[in-house]
């Protein structure tokens, strides 16, 4: 089992890989990928029961990236975990690449659900969790949603369904960085009080610092010990985390860095361009 210092190092590697692949592709979403690095690191390198050599293992834990535009952080985590060679990251968004702009379960090893149309991932995750209950399986289902994404009506249909079926094998983490493509959540479509809303739908709700591994793992453990209802972990994060000129800037939601900007970002992150 990896300790927190090792996990911090992995999160840094993911951020470096995100910048490198986006600079090469000149297309993609850095802001919400960088904000989720600790969450993906915690899940893929300690929490989830998975086997990179057997991605379709029937009893594995499942992960659904409902905010599918943050595919770079998922691809970086899968590559670092050993699902496919890291060299593949250089092909992000290229024609015929297995790493498309949004996750494709038929094309990418380790991707459990194709996502991209916002809101649908939570419904898929709920279905997976319900199937696990029906089949009397012990696997858990994890999903990552964006805070802007919860403005989608389908999120609340899934929230109602998951609570109705008492899906305590479902843990959802919200990347709550406060920004979406058009600006602040509160200006586009206010979602607060988001914790009370999920509680009113019958969910167990936990609020944490999404960049603090101790809080992340404490919340995940609390979720596993919560019976009779699904858990929503609202993780407060910084959009563009780790890159000074990207942090808390909505303009970096879906814009790739130039070569000069990528070089600055890599210097800040401790990554060295060897290409």
**Segment (H or E) for 33:** helix 31-34
Looking at the predicted structure, is the pLDDT value of residue 274 above 60? no
DSSP strands (E only) in the chain: 62-65, 141-146, 170-176, 179-180, 183-184, 204-209, 231-236
Mean pLDDT of 117-126: 97
What CA–CA distance (Å, rounded) separates 8 from 12?
Answer: 6
Domain residue extents for the chain? 4-269
Average pLDDT, integer, range 109-137:
97
Does the predicted TM-score (pTM) go above 0.85? yes
| 138: CB partners within 8 A, 6+ apart | 59, 132
Q: Does pLDDT of 20 surpass 70? A: yes
CA separation (Å) from 118 to 153, 156, 170? 10, 12, 19
Give mean pLDDT, residues 24-28: 96
Would you state the pLDDT for residue 272? 62
Q: Which band of pLDDT confidence, cut at 50, 70 and 90, is reported for residue 2?
A: confident
| Mean predicted lDDT score pLDDT of the chain | 97
Under 8 Å CB-to-CB from 182, ≥6 apart: which residues? 188, 250
The pLDDT of residue 1: 64
Could you report the per-residue pLDDT of 151-197, keeping only the tens digit for each?
Answer: 999 999 999 999 999 999 999 999 999 999 999 999 999 999 999 99
DSSP state letter for 256: P
In percent, how much of the chain has pLDDT > 90?
97
* Proportion of the chain above pLDDT 70, given as a percent: 98
Q: State mean pLDDT over 108-124.
A: 97
Q: Is the pLDDT of residue 273 over 60?
A: no
For residue 269, the surrounding DSSP H or E stretch is helix 259-269
The pLDDT assigned to 275 comes to 46
pLDDT 10s digits, 31-87:
999 999 999 999 999 999 999 999 999 999 999 999 999 999 999 999 999 999 999
Average pLDDT value for residue range 248-268: 97
Report the SS3 class of residue 247: coil
User: What separation in angstroms does the CA of 43 have from each of 113, 161, 213?
Assistant: 16, 24, 11
pLDDT at 119 over 80: yes
Name the class of domain 4-269: alpha beta
Both tokens of 144, joined, read: 């990552």
Q: Nearest 5 degrees, angle CA 34-CA 88-CA 211?
A: 20
**Angle, CA of 185, 188 and 189, to the nearest 5°:** 75
């Amino acid at each position: 089992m990896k300790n927190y210092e090792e996990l911090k190092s992995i999160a840094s590697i993911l951020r470096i890989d995100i910048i490198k692949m986006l600079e090469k592709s000149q297309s993609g979403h850095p802001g919400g990928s960088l904000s989720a690095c600790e969450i993906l690191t915690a899940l893929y390198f300690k929490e989830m029961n998975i086997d990179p050599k057997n991605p379709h293992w029937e009893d594995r834990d499942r992960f659904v990236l409902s905010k599918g535009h943050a595919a770079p952080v998922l691809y970086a985590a899968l590559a670092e975990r050993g699902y496919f060679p890291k060299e593949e990251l250089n092909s992000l968004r290229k024609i015929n690449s297995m790493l498309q702009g949004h996750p494709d379960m038929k094309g990418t090893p380790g991707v459990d659900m194709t996502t991209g149309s916002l809101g649908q991932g939570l419904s898929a995750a709920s279905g997976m969790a319900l199937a696990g209950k029906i089949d009397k399986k012990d696997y858990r289902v994890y999903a990552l949603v964006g805070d802007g994404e919860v403005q989608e009506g389908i999120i609340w249909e899934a929230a109602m369904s998951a609570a109705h079926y008492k899906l305590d094998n479902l843990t959802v983490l919200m990347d709550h960085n406060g920004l979406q493509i058009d600006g602040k959540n509160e200006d586009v479509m206010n979602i607060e009080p988001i914790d009370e809303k999920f509680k009113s739908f019958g969910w167990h709700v936990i609020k944490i610092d999404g960049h603090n591994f101790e809080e992340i793992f404490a919340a995940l453990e609390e979720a596993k010990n919560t019976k009779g209802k699904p858990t929503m972990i609202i993780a407060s994060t910084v959009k563009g985390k780790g890159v000074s000129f990207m942090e808390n800037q909505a303009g970096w939601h879906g814009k790739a860095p130039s070569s000069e900007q990528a070089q600055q970002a890599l210097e800040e992150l401790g990554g060295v361009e060897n290409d």
